[in-house]
Amino acid sequence: MVQELGIREEFMDPNRETETSYDFLDEMRHRFLKFKRQKYLPEIEKFQALAIAQSPKVMVIGCADSRVCPSYVLGFQPGEAFTIRNVANLVTPVQNGPTETNSALEFAVTTLQVENIIVMGHSNCGGIAALMSHQNHQGQHSSLVERWVMNGKAAKLRTQLASSHLSFDEQCRNCEKESIKDSVMNLITYSWIRDRVKRGEVKIHGCYYNLSDCSLEKWRLSSDKTNYGFYISDREIWS
């Protein structure tokens, strides 16, 4: 029998709850109150203004990995960055149909009218490792993870062609970077993004966070007005 409680925590019968539920409650309470004390109350006016309207200038697509929260690593404060996080920070092209990522892209670009889109990838990505180690055996059922990361197969193919002599780990590093490029190019398949990039209303950036040496490589996608193409520019590494 499944019971759905939907009861607020102050009504929970303490005799019924297990020790672990209470630990969880305590931990979340402690975490939230720390935020409230250290951030929310000291900047209450800003939070009250934000409660009425958000107008972030940036949208970030990052990985769900617990080590690479874009707000934490790139220092975004509440209100600054509309954030999408999925496995391996993948953006699929428009022709692949609806994903949770492209519905969020549409909202951010057409409703919130963000001016910058950042695709942030990272080293030691489990999703990319799964992509690189996946063998496409016929007749075998892929797991959900494998099905999803296969959206990055073009990046995998390019990586294998260029660096099959390297170790598996080194190939994964390369694939992580190639995949960011593909996700960035897939952004352009959406007409409401492409048009805005061409008009200079939206800028697209890629960045790669290496969590082994804490470095950030970043670059910009620039629009070539002569041939309507796109190219990578302004590459920098911060370490």
The answer to whether the CB of 119 falls within 8 A of the CB of 187 is: yes
Residues 127, 132, 176, 208: which binds other proteins (CB under 8 A)?
A: 127
Query: What is the Cα–Cα distance from 177 to 206, expressed in whole angstroms?
Result: 9
Which residues participate in the annotated binding site for Zn(2+)?
Answer: 63, 65, 122, 125
Residues 19, 53, 95, 168: which binds other proteins (CB under 8 A)?
A: 53
Query: What are the distances in angstroms from CA 228 to CA 167, 194, 195, 197, 199?
Result: 38, 10, 11, 11, 12
Q: What is the dihedral of CA 118, 238, 74, 235, to 10 degrees?
A: -10
161 contributes a contact to other proteins by CB under 8 A: no
Pair of tokens at residue 180: 């960011």
Residues 22, 42, 113, 147: which binds other proteins (CB under 8 A)?
A: 147
50 contributes a contact to other proteins by CB under 8 A: yes
Residues 2, 139, 226, 227: which binds other proteins (CB under 8 A)?
A: 2
Query: What are the distances in angstroms from CA 72 to CA 57, 68, 175, 220?
Result: 17, 7, 24, 21
Interface with other proteins: number of residues (CB under 8 A)? 99
Minimum Å gap between C-beta 164 and other proteins is 25
Chain centre to alpha carbon of residue 130: 17
For other proteins, the binding residues in 196-225 under the rule CB under 8 A are 203, 205, 207, 211-212, 214, 216, 218, 220
Measured from the CB atom, the residue of 81 and 172 that comes closer to other proteins is 81
Residues 42, 57, 157, 237: which binds other proteins (CB under 8 A)?
A: 57
For other proteins, the binding residues in 80-99 under the rule CB under 8 A are 80-87, 90, 98-99
Query: What is the Cα–Cα distance from 175 to 218, expressed in whole angstroms?
Result: 16
